[in-house]
A and B are shown apart, each in its own frame.
Chain A
Amino acid sequence: MRSERAGLGLRIAAAGGLLYLHLPIAFILLYAFTTEDKSYQFPPPGLTLKWFAVAWNRQDIWDALWLSVEVALVATALAILLGTLAAAALWRARFFGRDAITLLIVLPIALPGIITGIALRSTFGLLDIPFSFWTIVTGHATFCIVVVYNNAIARLRRTSPSLLEAAMDLGADGFQTFRWVLLPNLATALLAGGMLAFALSFDEVIVTTFTAGQQTTLPIWMLSELVRPRQRPVTNVVAVFVIAVTFLPILLAYRLTRGTESMHGTGK
């Protein structure tokens, strides 16, 4: 693309930075196979596969996993609904207070998670709402809306309004236009937003500690293992699994929105 080439110093700095970003994950994988479960000794004294079997037979891990999946599914569904509606409204109209509403949508992730968490918790306390599945979902849906919104509005901005007018000129009513013109255009963006929302909810821990009460989602299970380790390699097995579960939706979301620049990472 360019005739000039990067200097050696710049290349080393860039490569070193990328290495810093990726190398640590490799240690998670390595320690999942170690035979030493009392410390983080390096290099591992021996390698074994037994921790995968141990993790498989632990009921507490399965319970935490299912709770996380259920929460993520419901929160994602809510976020897709609310985020799409907000994107559609802000796309089709200019009105007073529009910027304030945009700010309101972004705020739950712009402010540190602990503020969202404690704000929700003090409200649940004030209103005497007991902690439940739904209190976790409430928190998650709130900060997932923006992810869907970002993806949906980026796609809408690239959708020509004349497409909708053409459909209506051909005799389609508003619902038909939505079903046969707008939705097919929007589908991959919504899918990408939904997957990112799922990944975000699936490993959220900061807000969840404030809204979960006694319930244990997978990240909360992991946090308690980090603070008071029992079988350390089992935690690694779960961590490897979590990496796989979050990587796949992210890669898929990237493929779905490639070239449209709508998967805004800074929006997390």
Chain B
Amino acid sequence: MSTATSAFPLATPGAGRLRRLSTFLWRHSRLFTLLLLLPPLLWLGIVYLGSLLALLAHSFFRLDSFTGQIVYEFTLATWYELLSQPANLDIIRRTAGMAAAVTLACGLIGFPIAYYAARFSTPRGKALFYLGVMLPLWSSYLVRVYAWKLILAKEGVISWAAERTGTSWLLDALLSLPVVGGPSLSISYIGMFLVFTYIWLPYMILPTQAALERVPPSLLEAAADCGARPRQTFRYVVLPLAFPGIVAGSIFTFSLTLGDYIIPYIIGTSKLFLGQAVYIHQGTAGNVPLAAAFSVVPIVIMAVYLAVARRLGAFDAL
């Protein structure tokens, strides 16, 4: 092989050493793989994993309330502070409740879109659907949150539309509901829920559609041949097969809602959500240990969630 003239236009004089190097790497395949893997592994291992471990370690330190300095000694005091105060537990419950509601809504709104795109659209229509879901997914998160600030404002388009259609009473009734209401849509849980659902919806649609695409048409014909009505086919054939996809999507919607702090900051009440609690404790309060403990909470919740999702077969649908 070394005596063959090269068929490639790169036979420069200095190529001899390169050629020997490349032959060496070819012979030592494992070494070559290791060399390729080393830079990304070092980066992610040191920068990312190292940081995560440092964060975890911080949750076992505590803040000296007199000096405002972090005491670098092992202690469970911070964890006790997190789990013993009712206000902190409220934050966790509130965030998890919102995440569950958003996930449910994303499933309900996303499924018809995914179902239509997977079963009834032409190849051209499918491409349009795909772009129609991808563009909002990838376009600026902040801009999309801002759009809702415009829409939900007291003087904004929703109030205007309600006035024009004579449904202001409905809007007022909605806003006067005890917990979820507020002075205007942009300062209420209803508004926050709408924005969360809007922002994370594409994450639900894509895996659901992927799972629906994989349902073989022959299965539906078989169900019909066996005498199932369309409704029965849907209930007993399509839905069980699509379910892992829906669970896969719910991993994203749930996890993203748990960790978000921008949306509750811009739209919503003054009551804190998990992400905000992390942000405030590390920022103005300078209490990095408590912030670290708070940020471990979503990790633990997601670990449990992922374990359940794995049982439901969601990982094959990702």
Asked if B51 lies at the interface with its beta carbon under 8 angstroms from chain A, I say: yes
Please give, as numbers and ranges, the residues of chain B lying within 8 Å of A39 by CB-CB distance: 153, 155
Q: Looking at the complex, which of A56-64, A79-87, A183-191 is the stretch in contact with chain B?
A: A79-87
Write the nearest CB–CB distance from B152 to chain A, whole angstroms: 9
Interface residue ranges of B211-266 to A (CB < 8 Å):
217, 248, 252, 255-256, 258-262, 265-266
Interface presence of A170 (CB below 8 A)? yes
Interface centre among B41, B138, B145, B201 (most CB of A within 10 A): B138
Contact B139 A119 (CB under 8 A): no
Chain B residues, Cβ within 8 Å of A107: 48
Q: Is A46 an interface residue (CB 8 A)?
A: no
Question: Interface size of A by Cβ–Cβ distance < 8 Å?
Answer: 98
Binary CB contact string for chain B from 91 to 125 against chain A (1 if under 8 A, 0 otherwise)? 00000000000000000011011011101101100
Residues of B within 8 Å of A250, CB to CB, are 134-135, 138-139
Which residues of A30-85 have CB atoms within 8 Å of chain B's CB atoms? 31, 39-43, 81-83, 85
Whether the Cβ atoms of A173 and B40 lie closer than 8 Å is no
> Which of B109, B144, B298 meets A24, CB within 8 Å?
B144
State whether the Cβ of A212 lies closer than 8 Å to any Cβ in chain B. Answer: no
B3-25: CB near A (< 8 Å → 1, else 0) gives: 01111101000010011011101
Residue ID in chain A nearest B123 by CB atoms = A1
User: Does A196 lie at the interface of the complex (its beta carbon under 8 Å from any beta carbon of B)?
Assistant: yes
Closest CB-CB distance, B253 to chain A, in whole Å? 11
Q: Within the complex, what minimum Cβ distance (angstroms) separates A57 from chain B?
A: 22
A179 touches B10 (CB 8 A): yes
Chain B 136-180 per-residue mask, 1 if CB under 8 angstroms from chain A, else 0: 111111111111111101011101100000000000000000000
Q: Say whether A6 contacts B119, CB under 8 Å.
A: yes
Q: Given A18-B113, A112-B275, A114-B259: A171 and B37 within 8 A (CB)? A: no
Closest residue of chain A to B201 (Cβ to Cβ) is A21
A126-176 contacts to B (CB < 8 Å)? 126, 138, 141-142, 145, 167-168, 170-176
Shortest distance from the beta carbon of A115 to any chain B beta carbon, whole Å = 5
Question: CA–CA, A203 to B39, complex, Å?
Answer: 26
Contact call A2/B120, Cβ cutoff below 8 A: yes
**A120 near B: Cβ within 8 Å?**
yes
Q: Is the interface of B mostly helix, strand, loop or mixed?
A: helix
Interface contact A88-B44, CB-CB below 8 Å: no
Q: Contacts A6-B119, A27-B151, A119-B51 given; indicate if A114 touches B40 (C-beta within 8 A).
A: no
Asked if B302 is an interface residue, CB under 8 A from chain A, the answer is yes
- What is the chain A residue whose CB lies nearest that of B1? A171
Q: Which residues of A contact B82 (CB under 8 A)?
A: none
Complexed CA–CA distance, A108 and B50 (Å): 12
CB-based contact B110/A170 at 8 Å: no
B74 at the A interface (CB under 8 A):
no
Distance of A176 Cα from B22 Cα, bound (Å): 9
Contact with B along A106-123 (1 / 0, CB 8 A): 011011111110111111
CB-contact partner of B261 in A114, A199, A254, under 8 A: A114
Measured between alpha carbons, how far is A4 from B142 in the docked complex, in Å? 41
* B202 touches A (CB below 8 Å): yes
User: A258 CA to B52 CA in the complex, in Å?
Assistant: 36
Using known A-B contacts A14-B112, A17-B113, A24-B151, determine if residue A42 contacts B146 with beta carbons closer than 8 Å: no
Given A24-B198, A265-B137, A31–B150 Cβ distance below 8 Å?
A: yes
| Contact partner, A20, options B39, B138, B198, Cβ 8 Å | B198
Residue numbers in B under 8 Å from A24 (CB-CB): 144, 147-148, 151, 198
A42, B318: Cβ atoms closer than 8 Å? no
Closest CB in chain A relative to B261 CB, distance in Å? 6
B282 contacts A81, C-beta separation under 8 Å:
no
A110 pairs with B109, CB closer than 8 A: no
Task: Report Cα–Cα, A11/B44, bound state, in Å.
Answer: 45
Chain B CB within 10 A, most for which of A31, A86, A122, A219: A122
Which one of B6, B21, B201, B256 lies within 8 Å of A172 (CB-CB)? B6
**B30 and A82 contact, CB distance less than 8 A:** no
Chain A residues contacting B41 (CB-CB under 8 Å) are 86, 101, 104
By the criterion CB–CB under 8 Å, are A266 and B252 in contact? yes
Partner of A17, one of B40, B110, B255: B110
Complex CA gap A251/B128 in Å reads: 12
Does the CB pair B137–A112 fall under 8 Å? no
Is B182 part of the contact surface with A, judged by Cβ < 8 Å?
no
Nearest B residue to A38, CB-CB: B155
Known: A112-B259, A114-B260, A210-B282. 5 other contacts (CB 8 A): A25-B139, A82-B39, A92-B33, A171-B8, A247-B135
Q: Which 4 pairs show the lowest CB-CB distances between chains A and B?
A: A112-B259, A174-B22, A13-B112, A14-B116
- By a beta-carbon cutoff of 8 Å, the part of chain A in contact with chain B is 1-2, 4-6, 10-11, 13-14, 17-18, 20-22, 24-25, 27-28, 31, 39-43, 81-83, 85-86, 88-90, 92-93, 95, 101, 104-105, 107-108, 110-116, 118-123, 125-126, 138, 141-142, 145, 167-168, 170-176, 179-180, 196, 199-200, 203, 205-206, 209-210, 219, 222-223, 226-227, 235-236, 239, 242-243, 246-247, 250-251, 254, 258, 263, 265-266, 268
